[in-house]
């Protein structure tokens, strides 16, 4: 408890919350890091096709210790498994699946998301940082719906949902829904609309933390 009458979601509970919104039959790419945890919360009886940008569909869980095959890895270069019915393909086909709008949902981490759905998640912009983009820009704009999953605020308490991104952009207007440890928020043509908040968190308090006007939950 924070003493403020509400409790922030753990990373596991955030992952479980995102998993609730992934329906049977969806083609889904889970980004590196926090989004990877969503896979652990998909119910076993729900068939979801997990895509990994390095060239597989039907990705299964991590292999048992000792069974690792480093020719069978995910985008984070961790060993994974392939489910029966899974397929391998080359990189141009893999990114055609994204860019071509064939994936239903992509879940990404973020440094910042703007009020209009701009995403910043590839580079802090620090002068001495070595840039690395990977598939972030392709993923951001490719799927039918792009979900962002992140802590609502930075370690120093600033909102990661911002009027305009100050970090270098990954994509413009590409985010459809934001899952944080405080709320689920849709990016709509009318502005950011709260879908739900953690128990005990008042709308006004969420707006204060976010520092932006938010449309109330319907």
Partner 1 sequence: MIDKTFPSVDAALEGVHDGSTVMIGGFGGAGQPNELIDALIAQGAKDLVVVNNNAGNGETGLAALLKAGRVRKIICSFPRQVDSQVFDGLYRSGRLELELVPQGNLAERIRAAGAGIGGFFTPTGYGTALAEGKETREIGGRMYVLESPIHADVALIKAERGDRWGNLVYRKTARNFGPVMAMAAKLTIASVHEIVPLGELDPEHIVTPGIFVHRVVRVARSATGPAGFRAAA
Binding site residues, partner 1, CB under 8 A: 11, 32-34, 36-37, 52-56, 68-73, 76-79, 82, 88-92, 94-96, 98-99, 109, 123, 128-138, 141-142, 168-172
Q: Which is nearer to partner 1, 134 or 191 (CB)?
A: 134
> Which residue among the candidates 7, 24, 47, 53 is catalytic per the annotation?
53
> What residue has token string 């910042």?
112
Could you tell me how far CA 120 lies from the centroid of its own chain? Answer: 12
Query: Taking the complex as a whole, how short is the minimal distance between the CB of residue 105 and partner 1, in angstroms?
Result: 17
Task: Decide whether 151 or 205 has the Cβ nearer to partner 1.
Answer: 151
* Residue 9 beta carbon to partner 1: minimum distance, rounded to whole angstroms: 14
Q: How far is the CB of 216 from partner 1 (least distance, A)?
A: 30
**Is the Cβ of residue 94 or residue 206 nearer to partner 1 in the bound state?**
94
- 49: β partners: 27
Our answer to whether residue 53 is catalytic in this structure is yes
- β strands within the chain, DSSP E: 27-30, 49-52, 56-60, 81-88, 105-108, 112-114, 119-120, 145-149, 161-162, 177-179, 183-188, 191-197
CA angle, residues 76, 79, 84, in degrees to nearest 5:
115
The residues carrying an active-site annotation are 53
């Amino acid at each position: 408890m924070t003493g403020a009458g509400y409790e922030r979601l753990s990373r596991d509970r955030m992952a479980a919350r995102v998993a609730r919104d992934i329906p049977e039959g969806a083609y889904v790419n889970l980004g590196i890091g926090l989004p990877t945890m969503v896979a652990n919360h998909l119910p076993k009886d729900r068939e979801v096709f997990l895509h990994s940008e390095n060239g597989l569909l039907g990705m299964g869980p991590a292999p048992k210790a000792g069974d690792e095959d480093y020719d069978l890895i995910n985008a984070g270069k961790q060993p994974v498994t392939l489910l029966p019915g899974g397929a391998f393909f080359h990189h141009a086909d893999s990114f055609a699946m994204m860019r071509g709008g064939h994936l239903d949902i992509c879940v990404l981490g973020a440094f910042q998301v703007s009020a209009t759905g701009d995403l910043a998640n590839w580079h802090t912009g620090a002068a001495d940082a070595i840039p690395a983009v990977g598939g972030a820009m392709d993923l951001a704009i490719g799927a039918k719906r792009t979900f962002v999953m992140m802590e609502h605020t930075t370690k120093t308490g600033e909102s990661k949902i911002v009027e305009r991104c100050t970090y270098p952009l990954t994509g413009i207007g590409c985010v459809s829904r934001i899952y944080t440890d405080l709320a689920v928020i849709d990016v709509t043509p009318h502005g950011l609309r709260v879908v739900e908040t953690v128990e005990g968190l008042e709308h006004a308090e969420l707006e204060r933390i976010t520092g932006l006007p938010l449309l109330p939950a319907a």
